Amino acid sequence: MGAFDPEKDYYAALGVPVEASEEEIKVAYRDLARRYHPDSGGDAERFRQIQEAYEILRDPTLHRAYDRQRESRGLSQESPLVIGLTLNRTNMQPLEVPQMLYVLVDIRPRVDLPSQRLPLNLALVIDRSTSMQGVRMENVKLAALDLVESLLPGDRLSLVAFSDRAEVIASGLSVSDKRALRSAISALMPGGGTEICRGLTAGLDELRRYVSDQYLNHLILLTDGRTYGDEEQSLSEVRRAGAQKIGISALGIGEDWNDLFLDALARQGGGICQYIRSPSQVRQLLRDQIRGLSAVVARQVRLVINPAPNVKIQAAFRAAPYMEYLTLENGTTLKLGNMGVDEPIALILDLVVQQPEPGERRLARLELEAATANDTAVTLQLRRDLAMTFSYSAQDEPVPGRLLNMLSRLSIFRLQERAWELAESGDVQQATNMLQAAATRLFDLGYKELAQVALTEVGRLSAGGAPTSEGRKRVRYGTRSLTSPV
């Protein structure tokens, strides 16, 4: 058991592409085993080959080892990234009425790709408004000093501090200017209001001085407060920066910042927004963000989806490492940002299928594009077709466990996101119902503490009050990471 022959093509034996997911391999094996079983008159030798292939491909450790051996013998295919597809069913009835279909798309490196620690062109934009006084600013300073220590030759760091205005306190400094960076950080003094757009623009301007494809160009915004009136402008600044391949992430400290706004900024900027409940977490979370930027396997990952005329993409979500709504650019493209080592991407697509013809049909063509980590001029491309068998005899099938569990958590995420939207727009009744539903589902799945927080907010809403900022943040950031593999 466990001995494999890298000269044999196990993928061909099972009739699956190299990028097949666990589910696809399982399904292929089941069909073939049934067909070639000696007891039902099948060819014994063929059956044995099918068995051998399945034994290796179904075991992640053996599978990986097999792929590695094939690669070292020059037997493997080119693409370093693979797409795995898992659907909630393999057969559907060709009904007149529209039908939902769920697709889990896993995007990961095929074998252990070396991750690149690219030189960073980084801007840290720090809120120094009055509310940052005390523990918050102390921790931010420590976190920024940590960042300075972690710089490598070739990196550039710009520092912007903002309150009512923005000041550039360091511009594109490198490892050799550590002392200047440290004193700039130490000199930070809180005082004033919060004009995020000014800080953002100043930071982006600094980045643009040094922007180049050889760098990973990124801005991290650290704030504890609300900006007024310049949200739209901020978002369009981020959009503009995106066109120049500059990414944006955000860290929100405490309860007062606008989570819907910062989420939108980070989503637009292809980065992540994180909630810092207690100032003592700033150092770790900033370190995590830098680490995420420092071990990149592919950049500017995009998935282009071309559905068949009778198929509509109703919604698309990132499912792991955390959940978020994704928007389809031009109706076809999902922008997924960078792929970190140990951070494969998982997406869930909600498809609606209308009046299909019986038979095996292509639902959509998927094209994955990414730039390699070390040379953005090299584009990786990978194509996978999503297919379905439509037959009048199609039966209900058990949903693959991993997909089902992700959908279960995604459902909770969507319920509470919708609830907050409704609360913002004044529909208190509906908001309460949905948040209550989310809380119930959280209890069902055993997330008691999070459920309790949600219930407390339900109580406030139904008593005619407003939800608390803290409650909303805890629920929003708690639910989105229910799928974290961590």
Partner 1 sequence: MPDKSVKVICPSCGAENLTGTLFCVQCGIYLPFGGPLRTEPLPEQGQGQRPTATDRRTDTQEGKALSLEMEILDTGRKVWLSAEREILVGRLDAAHGIFPELDLGVDGGLEHGVSRRQARIYTKDGVCLLEDLDSTNGTFLNGERLTPYLPYTLHNEDVLTFGTMRLKIYIYTSK
Contact between 59 and partner 1 by CB under 8 A: the answer reads: yes
Query: How many angstroms separate the Cα of 48 from the Cα of each of 7, 9, 24, 60, 62?
Result: 16, 14, 19, 20, 18
Place of tokens 């030189």: 119
Per-residue exposure over 192-219, b if at least 16 CB sit within 10 Å of its own CB, e if not? bebbbbbbbbbbbbbbeebbeeebbbbb
Contact between 51 and partner 1 by CB under 8 A: the answer reads: no
Tell how strand 99-109 and strand 345-353 pair up. Answer: antiparallel
Among 388, 438, 455, 475, binds partner 1 (CB under 8 A): 438
- Rounded to a whole number of angstroms, the minimum distance from the CB of residue 249 to partner 1 is 17
**Which pair of structure tokens corresponds to residue 264?**
């939108």
- Rounded to a whole number of angstroms, the minimum distance from the CB of residue 405 to partner 1 is 4
Distance CA 153, CA 356 (A): 58
Among 51, 79, 99, 150, binds partner 1 (CB under 8 A): 99
Helix 428-444 crosses helix 401-425 at what angle (to 10 degrees)? 150
Decide: 387 and 360 in contact? Cβ < 8 Å: yes
Among 135, 244, 444, 452, binds partner 1 (CB under 8 A): 444
Residue number with CB closer to partner 1 (463 or 486):
486
Contact between 101 and partner 1 by CB under 8 A: the answer reads: yes
- Rounded to a whole number of angstroms, the minimum distance from the CB of residue 89 to partner 1 is 8
Contact between 114 and partner 1 by CB under 8 A: the answer reads: no
Within 10 Å of residue 288's Cβ, how many Cβ atoms?
14
Among 51, 77, 88, 469, binds partner 1 (CB under 8 A): 88
Say which DSSP state 399 is in: P
Within 10 Å of residue 111's Cβ, how many Cβ atoms?
14
Among 147, 415, 422, 475, binds partner 1 (CB under 8 A): 415
Q: Which of 413, 228, 210, 432 is nearest to 323 (CA)?
A: 413
Among 238, 246, 412, 419, binds partner 1 (CB under 8 A): 412
Question: What does the per-residue mask of binding to partner 1 show for 368-407, with x meaning CB under 8 A?
Answer: ----------------------------x-xxxxx-xx-x
- Rounded to a whole number of angstroms, the minimum distance from the CB of residue 213 to partner 1 is 31
Question: What does the per-residue mask of binding to partner 1 show for 333-362, with x meaning CB under 8 A?
Answer: ---------x---------x----------
Contact between 434 and partner 1 by CB under 8 A: the answer reads: yes
End-to-end CA distance of the chain: 31
What is the arrangement of strands in the sheet containing 273-276, beginning at the earlier edge strand?
166-173, 156-162, 120-127, 216-223, 247-253, 273-276
Amino acid code (one letter) for 393: S
Question: What does the per-residue mask of binding to partner 1 show for 286-325, with x meaning CB under 8 A?
Answer: ----------------------------------x-----
Q: Which of 115, 136, 117 is nearest to 127 (CA)?
A: 136
Place of tokens 């959280």: 442
Distance CA 335, CA 22 (A): 25
CA atoms within 13 A on the CB side of 258: 15
Decide: 167 and 177 in contact? Cβ < 8 Å: no
Total residues interacting with partner 1, rule: CB under 8 A? 51
- Rounded to a whole number of angstroms, the minimum distance from the CB of residue 304 to partner 1 is 25
Stretch that binds partner 1, among 13-21, 89-97, 119-127, 331-339 (CB under 8 A): 89-97
- Rounded to a whole number of angstroms, the minimum distance from the CB of residue 338 to partner 1 is 19
Over its C-alpha atoms, the chain yields an Rg (Å, rounded) of 25
Among 77, 389, 408, 468, binds partner 1 (CB under 8 A): 408
Contact between 4 and partner 1 by CB under 8 A: the answer reads: no
Among 437, 451, 458, 475, binds partner 1 (CB under 8 A): 437
Question: What does the per-residue mask of binding to partner 1 show for 236-275, with x meaning CB under 8 A?
Answer: ----------------------------------------
- Rounded to a whole number of angstroms, the minimum distance from the CB of residue 102 to partner 1 is 7
Among 18, 65, 95, 264, binds partner 1 (CB under 8 A): 95
Within 10 Å of residue 403's Cβ, how many Cβ atoms?
19
Contact between 284 and partner 1 by CB under 8 A: the answer reads: yes
Contact between 433 and partner 1 by CB under 8 A: the answer reads: yes
Q: Where on the chain is the footprint of partner 1 (CB under 8 A)?
A: 26, 29-30, 58-60, 88, 92-93, 95, 97-102, 280-281, 284-285, 320, 342, 352, 396, 398-402, 404-405, 407-408, 410-412, 414-415, 433-434, 437-438, 440-441, 444-446, 483-486
